[in-house]
Structure 1
Amino acid sequence: MVTNSSGSVEHSSGLRGVVPIVIAALLWGTTGTAAHFLPGDVSPLATGAATMFIGGVLLFAVSSRGAVAALRDRRSLVWLLVGSLGVFAYPLAFYSSMHLAGVAIGTVVSLGAAPVFAAILEFLVDRRRVSLRWALATAVAVLGVVLLATGGSAGTEAAASVWGVLLGLVAAFSYALYTFASERAIGAGHSSRSVMGALFGVGAVLLAPVLIVTGAPLLQSWSSVAITGYLALGPMFVAYLLFGAGLRWVRSSTATVITLIEPAVATVLAVVIVGERFDLFGWLGLALVAVGILILVLPRRGPTALDAPRL
């Protein structure tokens, strides 16, 4: 993993981590819109369990030897088990949040709060302080997601929206947890593919009972099977292979800021395809998310006041 002393991405190798994470975030941004077209009797628990279960099995299958080795290594086992709890909770909370609060708000909260949780985990475990540049990028991007939430979907009931936001926070913490655990397991000397295979393989085992109980409606039509297949193969399988590759080069707190592209993409798709409506604040939020990411990933021309000091 290559970062400078202040925690910003080194341009020489940073793009090797930024590009795959950006592509993964673009794929993730399509999940809410795709799930919107599932039949009404398919619960968000079934959607989340199915996509993460199928994707987890595939990730384990393509890296079984390395994944088993990572699970046998005491240095990485604890982190993989901790991370698998995040893998279990994330899809259940994420899809439930979108179901209650709308595609855009559910995605915005789930991803927008993740960088804060990631930084807290890094501080509590590693005593790693963040740079002023990271803090500025995160503050701008988080302000953007707050504005996105403020300009959220019209017609959503207040109580449902509140529960959706709370579940989005659960999803955000779960996402930050398994991202942080993945980074630590990769740091123990295992390949990103092996770590992703082990992490999501264990998560698939945990999600299997939920899928058995709730998953029957997913098989009621070819369209529901096709949508579930896309969610499992694209935003789950391919995206997490890319995400794991990116984590070899950037810190988890940086990765969670970059993936704020996802709520921006999800918002645009929610407006254009799903028909959710936003006001001026929502569109301003989209712009701020983009600015925050650019602050983080654009190369520096030299030491600046933003990068030198540490908070």
Structure 2
Amino acid sequence: MPSHARPNHPLHGPLPILAACALWGTTGTAGSFAPASAPAIAVGSAGLVVGGLLLLLTGIGAGAREVLATADRRLLLLGSATVAGYALAFYPAVARTGVAVATTVALATAPIVLGVRARPALTLTAVLGCALLVLGGATGDTRIDPLGVALAVVAGLSYAAYSAVCAHLISLGHPSRAVVGVVFGGASALVLPVLLLAGVSWIASTAGLAVVAHLAVLTTFLSYLLFGYGLRRTTAAAATTLTLAEPAVAAVLGVVVVGERLPWVSWAGMAVLAVALAALTRAPRTPETITTG
């Protein structure tokens, strides 16, 4: 597969990843419209099953068969397992310890694991801003559940591993759409039994269909296509730090759509996070080898 060196530019890496984060940030608002009878793990699993299938179908036309034939299948399996692990760990974490704590722990874990050594100042500043944003808006009844926190850490580690695996495979010359399609197709198959056991009757309702369609098409299919494209020209460490933009989007949607109010600490955290992310997108990087296709 042909390759050539190309200077880095925000449109070639950071901005597609930030666009993916904006879509991920709608997950909580969309999930709040799911029927009351839908278990949290079922909602997340349904979005991954359908969205993963869409990504696989897209990947077939982009070289998924070649990826299956030539890529290290152990890495592909690890990628699928970590994608499934994120979904299966994060939603129970939210149910046990709340959105604020689970989101902060999960989203901060991946950048700390991958990004501190690469860009310690920017990474730690972004993590601090994320913590202020999310925890600053937590109410007095926020609960810290040890198992919930542990599950959130597992979700964060799973996400870090997925990012590293996909970035490595893409850096070897495999097309990003094909890699993402194979990995998410495998994750879809892994999560399907969980969805069937959790129950699918709620999907037949209008609200259920709308929520699954949103999670599958926007927060899984389109967002991970953008994320995979961004990984072609952005390191896994930088990409996972950029994903800290997700809670900022979620917070703004909570204010605009749901009518929530954020304290000044949260707004300050959002400002700190914005500065760190802006610096990360502008930070000079050594030109990398870019694959076509």
Q: State the TM-score bracket (shorter-chain normalisation).
A: 0.7 to 0.9
C-alpha deviation, 1:108, in angstroms: 3.1
C-alpha deviation, 1:175, in angstroms: 0.8
Counterpart for residue 143 of structure 2 = 158
Counterpart for residue 72 of structure 1 = 69
C-alpha distance in 2 between matches for 1:140 and 1:89: 27
C-alpha distance in 2 between matches for 1:186 and 1:299: 22
The within-5 A match list for 1:291-306 is: 291-299=275-283
With structure 2 as the length reference, what TM-score do the two structures score? 0.87
Do the aligned partners of 1:14 and 1:250 also contact (CA within 8 Å) in 2? no
Q: Secondary structure at the match of 1:158?
A: coil
- Equivalent position amino acid for 2:173 in 1: G
C-alpha distance in 2 between matches for 1:285 and 1:208: 38
Counterpart for residue 169 of structure 1 = 153
Counterpart for residue 289 of structure 2 = none
Counterpart for residue 124 of structure 1 = none
Which deviates the most, 272-281 or 201-210?
272-281
What is the alpha-carbon root mean square deviation over aligned residues?
A: 2.5
Deviations 1:176-226 (A, max 9, x none): 111110011112221000000010011111001001111324324111111
The within-5 A match list for 1:1-311 is: 12-64=8-60, 66-73=63-70, 75-119=71-115, 129-130=117-118, 134-154=119-139, 156-160=141-145, 162-274=146-258, 276-299=260-283
With structure 1 as the length reference, what TM-score do the two structures score? 0.83
Deviations 1:152-185 (A, max 9, x none): 431545245x544332222111111111100111
Do the aligned partners of 2:115 and 2:241 also contact (CA within 8 Å) in 1? no
C-alpha distance in 1 between matches for 2:9 and 2:256: 36
Q: How many residues align?
A: 283
**CA distance 1:257–1:156, shift in 2 (3 Å):** same
**CA distance 1:289–1:2, shift in 2 (3 Å):** farther
C-alpha deviation, 1:84, in angstroms: 1.1
Which deviates the most, 99-108 or 33-42?
99-108
Deviations 1:104-150 (A, max 9, x none): 44333322221112248xxxxxxxx52xxx21110111111222343
C-alpha distance in 1 between matches for 2:104 and 2:4: 28
C-alpha distance in 2 between matches for 1:115 and 1:136: 12
C-alpha distance in 2 between matches for 1:72 and 1:114: 30
Paired-residue identity, %: 40
Unaligned runs of 5+ in 1: 4-9, 121-128, 304-311
C-alpha distance in 1 between matches for 2:134 and 2:87: 20
**CA distance 1:241–1:169, shift in 2 (3 Å):** same
